[in-house]
Amino acid sequence: MTTHELSGFLLTSLEVMSTLFIFTIGLVVLVVFVLYVVDVSQHKDAIRHNFPVIGRFRYLFSHLGKFFRQYFFAMDREELPFNRAQREWVYGATRDASNTRAFGSTKDINAPGTIVFMNCPFPTLDTDAVPPHPVTIGEDCPTPFTTASILNISGMSYGALSRPAVQALSRGAFLAQCWMNTGEGGLSPWHLEGGADLIFQIGTAKYGVRDAAGRLDEERLAEIAAHPQVRMFEIKLSQGAKPGKGGILPAVKVTEEIARIRGIRPHTDSISPNRHPEINGNDDILDMVARVRRVTGKPTGIKLVLGDPAWLEGFCQAIVRRGAASAPDFITLDGAEGGSGAAPMSLMDAVGLSIREALPALVDALVVHGLRERVRVIASGKLITPVDVAWALCIGADFVNSARGFLFALGCIQALQCNRNTCPTGITTHNPRLQAGLDVEDKARRVAHYVKNLHREVGIIAHSCCVPEPRRLCRCHARVVMPDGRTLGLHECHPDKVAMEESP
């Protein structure tokens, strides 16, 4: 190319660029003018009317602020529902990376409510440590269930979660030898394909085991029970994020496949009743437990979030009147801290008891009425780190369930878009493009690493307290910081007679 030709080419390029620049500027001016006219003409939004165009940035910044805070502004222990320190612990555990830290803790160990464990002068030697001992649920059932896993996957339905998310959890649960709760959305092929032990949850809409009128269908219930992987059944009365309200799955997530699994119409909002219509009292709960156990032959329990602790007295009395055999084989207790894909803020913020208050109340009520050995206790509600899990074991839980801990294991970044079908990590969306970013095999390994490393660190806490395995932790092994800065033993805060007698 000659110098003259090169000059001509450059000149032409500059002219094109100048034209594009002028066109872009003109387009921006036109858009701004249109927005200005729209804003000053409307009277529903005072900010946009008084400050046209510029006022729109308020909403943009407000929306972006919640995402920027977690990266640039919030301290390690500040955020809710989960702070950076909690998330980073889980992320590290899922990568099977070292979770050791340097220099010192960023946690304020003197803050009221902080749990501290009581190390002993002669901790358990590594050579004397043993893995968690197996626990049997439903010993009198034709098909009882025995498992050693402390941490298990809480109820998250297929529909609320994407297919690859369910697949990764199922395969990861199998690798970790923990159980997976199906959530109230029924049993899908993706729950089964991983080979994990499954807990089938019966929600208020009876998805997967309902007839055309939404009532419990015993024939379909028996079909679910015939799957050997389905080890137990859980009747959900309520959950922590929305006690007193049923589940919500927006129409955009109710695909043909999900509708078929649930037994409902596709492409319509899937809204569960706020309670089981046939359960009107304590005896009705026990009747439902007996019915499901009779049809399935497998351990059957209930899930609830506790309101007035006085209810426990009446419930336990109802069991005692009918005999211990009528009791649920387990009770899954969710705290008001529990999460959900969609729930009214008023319920999430202000209804139900925290797991910190509810768990000791439940355990103590079972002890007082002689039912503690009959009924296994599963704790749930923001228990995602070794300290949380060790605390629950000290109080008296047999197992811990977690949902959001396993969401973090799948790569959740707490984007708070679970209910919008726009989850950026592919976990809670049915958008194929977004789902493509979730590698099932990789996330399955991360799920297994999370369980393994949490068990390991709960064991480290137990060994420091001079017990050989985590399930031997009791209330005498931990203390809580009081408002005046002193600590009080959990056995003093919640004087459970059995826990006190188990002092080493």
**Structural domain span for residue 59:** 3-73
pLDDT at 249 over 90: no
| Same domain as 398, residue 281 | yes
CATH of the domain at 220: 3.20.20.70
| Same domain as 135, residue 55 | no
Cα torsion for 417, 421, 423, 426, to the nearest 10°? 150
Could you identify the residue written with the tokens 């046209």?
52
Share of the chain above pLDDT 90, in %: 55
110 domain-assigned: no
| Same domain as 325, residue 470 | yes
91 domain-assigned: no
**Which tens digits make up the pLDDT trace of 60-92?**
766 666 666 666 656 666 667 777 788 888 888
Higher local confidence (pLDDT), 144 or 89: 144
| Same domain as 186, residue 68 | no
**Which tens digits make up the pLDDT trace of 400-443?**
999 999 998 998 888 777 777 888 889 988 888 988 888 999 99
108 domain-assigned: no
| Same domain as 199, residue 64 | no
| Same domain as 179, residue 45 | no
| Same domain as 482, residue 391 | yes
Count of the separate structural domains present in the chain: 2
Q: Which of 73, 90, 108 is the last residue of a domain?
A: 73
- Pick from 26, 43, 1, 87: which is nearest to 407 by CA? 87
pLDDT value at residue 393? 97
pLDDT at 503 over 50: no
103 domain-assigned: no
Which ranges in 323-354 belong to alpha helices (H)?
A: 345-350
| Same domain as 133, residue 52 | no
User: What does the buried/exposed string (b/e) look like for 19-34 if buried means 16 or more CB atoms within 10 Å of the residue's CB?
Assistant: eeeeeeeeeeeeeeee
pLDDT at 499 over 60: no
Arithmetic mean of pLDDT, 284-302: 97
Higher local confidence (pLDDT), 416 or 216: 216
pLDDT band at 19 (very low <50, low <70, confident <90, very high): confident
pLDDT at 313 over 60: yes
**Which tens digits make up the pLDDT trace of 437-488?**
889 999 999 999 999 999 999 999 999 999 999 999 999 999 999 999 899 9
pLDDT value at residue 1? 57
Encoded tokens for 492: 């003093």
81 domain-assigned: no
113 domain-assigned: no
What is the rounded average pLDDT for all residues in the chain?
A: 88
| Same domain as 145, residue 68 | no
